[in-house]
Amino acid sequence: MNSKFTTQSFSKAKQKEEKITMLTAYDYSMAQIIDGSGIDAILVGDSLGMVMQGHDSTLEVTMDHMVYHCACVSRGVKHALVVGDMPFLSYHVSTEEAVRNAGRLIQEGKAGAVKLEGGKNMAGTVKAIVNAQIPVMGHIGLTPQSVNIFGGFKVQGKQEAKARALIEDALALEEAGVFSIVLEAVPEELARIITEKVSVPTIGIGAGRYCDGQILVINDILGAYSEFTPKFVKQYAHLNATITDAVGEYIQDVKSQKFPEKKHTYAMDESLLKKV
């Protein structure tokens, strides 16, 4: 728990068959709590477009947003590996732009690695970023930045051809030099095959029990995002209800003058008061 979790720790964990734990975070306070709880790695995900900014997809998120949130999270983290997500269009236009943007997440966001979506089609870009000495995490399956191609947030790899394509994607990413691959919303048995075929750890989200690690969105596990809860989420707290109750009590206290009490106030010297 004292030593830093690094990209090398990812591969050691796979060799030792120890499951890797990951969560998302977007701000300093939450990152500090999650890191203090002993999580292995924190993804500053572009899911912040939905859970922080209130958009219905991740497509509105920009590089500046990601750099800002990465820097906030990194300031709160001592142990976990911080992975900065590359937002839509930050790595699609040219390889040069991709390397420069990945570099911003490391240099300004203080992340230890970056993540990008795509398989075979992104292998060249992954290679170029890795050549710039920046560790890359891949992401295949339901890649949310492709929502308009998929026609919604749908499970991927259920047909034979698509399942084969996902296996090829994972192998291409491994070949390109990723240190790990996120598998999102794919059938459990397909995730198992991919996990067995690649030497780098797979991190599942809605990909079942056989991945080398798991990741979930922090707002989902805490019950703090009420728009939609995917089938693969397990809620460990119900913050929506807890916060609603707490805020309701605060409103009642202020209206009924139960808050603030004397102990919440600052005193002033009587003699000085007279002079005022």
Contact positions toward ligand KIV, by CB under 6 A? 24, 43, 45-47, 85, 139, 182, 184, 205, 215, 217
Residue nearest to ligand KIV (CB): 45
Q: CB nearer to ligand KIV: give 198 or 211.
A: 211
How many CA atoms lie within 13 Å of 52's alpha carbon, on the beta-carbon side?
20
| Residue 197 CB, nearest approach to ligand KIV (Å) | 20
Q: Which is nearest to 98 in space by CA: 89, 111, 108? A: 89
Phi and psi angles of residue 92, each rounded to the nearest 5 degrees, phi first: -100, -25
Pair of tokens at residue 81: 């590996």
Smallest separation, CB 8 to ligand KIV (Å): 21
Whichever of 69 and 104 has its CB closer to ligand KIV, that residue is: 69
Whose CA is closest to 135, among 121, 119, 116? 116
| Integer Cα distance of 239 and 183 in angstroms | 27
Distance CA 113, CA 96 (A): 17
- Between 14 and 69, name the residue whose CB sits nearer to ligand KIV: 69
* φ/ψ (deg, to 5) at 36: -65, -25
Nearer to ligand KIV, 14 or 139 (CB): 139
Closest approach, Cβ 58 to ligand KIV, in A, equals 6
- Least spacing, CB of residue 275 vs ligand KIV, in Å: 58
Active site (catalytic) residues: 184
